[in-house]
Amino acid sequence: MNIYLTIANELNVAERQVQATVDLLDDGATVPFIARYRKEATGGLDDTQLRLLDERLHYLRELESRKETVIKSIEEQGKLTPELLEKITVCDNKTALEDLYLPYKPKRRTKAQIAREQGLQALADLLLQEPTRQPEKEAEMYINAEKNLSDIKAVLDGARAILMETFAEDADLIAALREKFWHTAHLRSQVVAGKEEVGEKFKDYFDFSEQIATIPSHRALAVLRGRNEEVLKISLQYQSDDIPLTEKSEFEKMIIRHFRLPENADKWLFDTVRLAWRAKIFLSLELEALSKLKEMADGSAIEVFSKNLKDLLLAAPLGRIPTLGLDPGYKNGIKTAAVDDTGKMTASKIVYLHREEEALFELEKIIKNNNIQFIAIGNGTASRETDKLAGTLLNRLAEKNIRKITVSEAGASVYSASEIAAEEFPDLDVSLRGAVSIARRLQDPLAELVKIDPKSIGVGQYQHDVDQIRLAKSLDAVVEDCVNAVGVDLNTASAPLLSRVSGLNKTIAKNIVEYRNQNGAFKKRQELLKVPRLGAKAFEQAAGFLRITDGDEPLDASAVHPESYGVVKKMLANLGVTAKDLIGNNELLRKIKAVDYTDEQFGLPTVMDILSELDKPGRDPRGEFQTAEFNENVNEIKDLIVGMTLQGTVTNVADFGAFVDIGVHQDGLVHISQLADRYVADPREVVKTGDIVSVRVLEVDEKRKRISLSMRKNEVSGSLKRENVAKPPKPTHQPQTAMAAAFAKLKR
């Protein structure tokens, strides 16, 4: 198989693009680096295409390796024919390959093998090739007590075992049966007797049936979870209940046609076909189909999870603004932590809702002493009560331009107890670490959320049910792509954030932080080569994604890669200006003709990227910060009234709709049919995680904690207009990074 050509056809790109990408990957290049700095080689493949290419490359290489093993095994048996070798060679998927190998695969001693040892292969071949012969008569001559063939029944049982195995191991037949079974079988689920009450959440699947090929992933995963929790029993039906079992199924007819059995074939042979299908082939295909359903459902769920995670990680940052984080609680109090504009914790305290005056006094003191401009409130238990307390506090501080915002605290407790948190705050109580995380994730969601296992962030569905290795790989790729798309401040980034940069790992990231602590801030990117274990290859992969502001080299604050600095220096020489004169100077940049600076190493795509970066250095691809305003009179589900319109934040997007936080501790669901006045095929066409929307309450089920919402414009005003969305005040300090400068520019 030509792997390059196969992948090229799948991605609809040129074979040379695939080959160049594979060479780069094999040489240790990362996907973010290739996507950003090797566009000439790949023909401009983006990170999504590159991820898919990398995945397919691993699959096809494993397939080729497996082919070698299969060919060697069959060859050693002396059964490798030219025709079989050709079929194996051109095989393009693992399932088809295993079908071909099945008759030759070493296995436990089967009834068919025993029958062959008894000399019954000839009888089985005769009855299949001449199907009108009478089996009982032909079996008489094979009776042999010494071979445990004492009567006709024993002989025919042996011949039947051989034929059943023959039917079940015919690769072409099994492939056809598998295809038809997948597209016609129905998944059936029923409640286990006596589990009706304990399995209430699976009520929709107590008597459920849907075609397996078209069942949406969320329903498939729900049914499979119900089975795993022993609430549901499931099965696959391959024919309607109204068809008598005595009639031949479509699958039995396919076996009959494949082996060209005439209508006047002996009944014994038709019974053998039926037994082969029902007792052997069907059971195998059923397991395969359920496995395929799980794999496809996993893939769909992981894709949704990955997209939601990307939206969350790329959510607009508040910026470097002093923030107070509040981690709500009743009995254990409200954990509070103040962080300065760099994210450093400056104060912490636990206050209690039932001691309101004392709490207000302490919070006011923290706000004044730390120049707090924003209050971030976790959305967990006691969130609305804490929000109300914060509102009372802000009324007392009416002269200050301070805002309060509710943020997702998903994963904060995981961070609090993590090794990373322990290293950051060895002397801080575990309960207070979560408040720090809440404050920081408002300042910069990406920088803070990379410290948390992506599965704990809470933007997926059934994340504990899907393939964990596959999920982790996908989510790690999302985090890597997001971190490198935004870029990292080399002099302020934490080790967890640095470890996600292209070419770096946990050890090198830790070494960078230690070097920074011992030697002070980096002045040049080239200093990275002094960091222990950071060699030339790691520098090549990482340098372009690491930013140094106010350093010795102005270009180090941009995404221009050090390997391209020579190109910029030519531009500067021709214009007779310095780098500081050129960066951000649109008038000067318009004078540059990109084609004049291309050569064998740097093509037009790279030069155009350089000019774009010089125009807006360190540009943050994330949007403008905004937040929803919750209704102060709606704090719990019981406060909701059908028909009321509320603001909310999209917290999760699934195949069937979007979940929206409206401030009642339970997200409401906007079903896909209620997202817009038009047909919506994919909810992400309309919303994404983090969007601020206006919704109308359609239905409330307090017992099951379900809230049904609508975003249809004939019922609500739709997404909020920009001028109605809360925005942060102007910072009272000078922005210290390119990211903060860009944010300040947006606000001005």
Please, what is the Cα angle at 11 between 502 and 48, to 5 degrees?
30
Tell me how far apart the alpha carbons of residues 597 and 713 are, in angstroms, rounded to a whole number.
Answer: 52
Question: Which single residue is written with the structure tokens 């499979």?
Answer: 224
Q: Which amino acid is at 54?
A: D
> What pLDDT does residue 655 have?
87
Sign of the Cα torsion 55, 56, 60, 66 reads positive
* 236 strand-pairing partners: 187
Other Cβ atoms less than 10 A from the Cβ of 629: the count is: 18
- Short-list 552, 556, 549, 555, CA closest to 571: 555
Cα separation, 98 vs 107, in Å, equals 13
Reported as a single tens digit per residue, the pLDDT across 475-530 is 999 999 999 999 999 999 999 999 999 999 999 999 999 999 999 999 999 999 99
The answer on pLDDT for 61 being more than 90 is: yes
Predicted confidence band at 721 (pLDDT cuts at 50, 70, 90)?
very low
Tell me: the pLDDT tens digits for 556-585?
999 999 999 999 999 999 999 999 999 999
| pLDDT confidence tier of residue 724, bands split at 50, 70 and 90 | very low
Q: Is 107 exposed, middle or buried (0-12, 13-18, 19+ CB in 10 A)?
A: exposed
Q: Write the pLDDT tens digit of every residue in 381-399.
A: 899 899 999 989 998 887 6
pLDDT of residue 163: 98
What span, in angstroms and rounded, lies between the C-alpha atoms of 413 and 427? 17
Helix (H) or strand (E) holding 89: helix 82-90
Phi, psi (deg, nearest 5) at residue 58: -65, -40
The CA-atom distances, in angstroms, between 446 and each of 51, 313, 479 are 21, 5, 9
Say if residues 672 and 683 touch (Cβ distance below 8 Å).
yes
State the DSSP code for 560.
-
Tokens standing for residue 531: 């960091």
Task: Write down the domain spans for the chain.
Answer: 3-104, 111-302, 323-471, 637-724
Torsions phi, psi for 445 (to 5 deg): -55, -40
Residue 636 pLDDT class (50, 70, 90 cuts): confident
Indicate the pTM of the whole model. 0.85
Fold of 637-724: OB fold (Dihydrolipoamide Acetyltransferase, E2P) (2.40.50)
Asked which of 156-160, 216-220, 400-404, 475-479 is least confident by mean pLDDT, the reply is 400-404
pLDDT of residue 462: 80
Question: DSSP secondary structure string, 609-634?
Answer: HHHHHHHSTT---S----B----TT-
On the question of pLDDT at 124 being above 80, the answer is yes
| Cα gap 326→76, rounded to integer Å | 69
Residue 638 has pLDDT above 70, yes or no: yes
Nearest residue to 431 via CA among 542, 334, 318, 545 = 334
Mean pLDDT of 726-732: 42
Which stretches within 282-355 are classed as H helix? 282-313
Which contacts (CB < 8 Å, 24+ apart) does range 146-155 have? Answer: 147/118, 147/119, 148/118, 149/118, 149/120, 155/120, 155/123
Provide mean pLDDT across the span 68-97. Answer: 96
pLDDT of the residue at 397: 87
Rounded CA gap, 632 and 705, in Å?
20
Looking at residue 683, its amino acid is P
Express each pLDDT in 526-559 by its tens digit: 999 999 999 999 999 999 999 999 999 999 999 9
List, for residues 43-58, the tens digit of each pLDDT value. Answer: 999 999 999 999 999 9
d(C-alpha 647, C-alpha 725), whole Å:
10
Sign of the dihedral through C-alpha 461, 464, 466, 468: positive
Contact 219, 183 (CB under 8 A): no
Domain covering 3-104, topology: Arc Repressor Mutant, subunit A (1.10.10)
Neighbouring C-beta atoms of residue 90, cutoff 10 Å: 9
pLDDT of residue 629: 79
Q: Is 229 exposed, middle or buried (0-12, 13-18, 19+ CB in 10 A)?
A: middle
Neighbours of 75 (CB within 10 A): 12
Please state, in angstroms and rounded to a whole number, the distance separating the CA atoms of residues 391 and 308: 31
Q: Which pLDDT score is estimated for 733?
A: 35
pLDDT in tens, 2-40: 999 999 999 999 999 999 999 999 999 999 999 999 999
Query: Which residue, among 323, 345, 360, 517, has the nearest Cα to 429 in the 3D structure?
Result: 345
Question: What would the pLDDT profile of 259-275 be if each residue is shown by its tens digit?
Answer: 999 999 999 999 999 99
**Helix extents (H) in 520-642:** 536-542, 565-575, 579-582, 586-589, 604-615
The residue among 592, 301, 709, 346 whose CA lies nearest residue 467 is 301
Report the mean per-residue pLDDT for the chain: 91
CATH of domain 111-302: 1.10.3500.10
What per-residue confidence (pLDDT) applies to 715? 59
pLDDT band with cut points at 50, 70 and 90 for residue 618:
confident
**How many angstroms separate the CA atoms of 657 and 670, rounded?**
6
The pLDDT, as a whole number, for residue 726 is 43
**Res 614: pLDDT:** 94
Whether the per-residue pLDDT at 747 is higher than 50: the answer is no
pLDDT grade for 241, boundaries at 50, 70 and 90: low
Architecture of domain 323-471 in this structure: 2-Layer Sandwich (3.30)
Residues 20 and 42: beta-carbon distance below 8 Å:
yes
Side-chain-facing half-sphere of 389: CA atoms under 13 Å? 30
Distances (CA, A) of 342 to 360, 462, 494: 26, 36, 11
What's the chain's length in residues? 748
DSSP code string of 91-120: --SHHHHHHHHGGGS-----HHHHHHHTT-
Q: How far apart are CA 275 and CA 251, in angstroms?
A: 12
Question: b or e along 438-470 (b: 16 or more beta carbons within 10 Å of the residue's beta carbon)?
Answer: bbbbbbbbbbbbbbbebbebbbbbbbebbeeee
Euclidean distance between CA atoms 698 and 641, whole angstroms: 9
Phi-psi region of 643 (alpha: psi -120 to 50; beta: other; left: phi over 0): left
Q: Phi and psi at residue 309, in whole multiples of 5°? A: -65, -40
What pLDDT shows up at residue 621? 86
465 contact partners, CB below 8 Å, separation of at least 6: 221, 224, 225, 228, 301
Number of H helices, E strands in the chain: 31, 15
pLDDT of residue 617: 83
DSSP 195-237: -TTTTGGGGGGTEEEEETTT--HHHHHHHHHHHHTTSEEEEEE
Which residues 6+ apart lie within 8 Å of 513 measured at CB?
A: 494, 495, 498
Q: Say if CB 436 and CB 415 are below 8 A apart.
A: no
Phi, psi for 387 (deg, rounded to 5): -60, -40
pLDDT value at residue 727: 45
Please write down the HEC assignment for all residues of 643-655: CCEEEEEEEEEEC
Strand order in the sheet with 403-407: 345-351, 334-339, 323-327, 374-378, 403-407
Report strand pairing: 657-661 vs 645-654. Answer: antiparallel
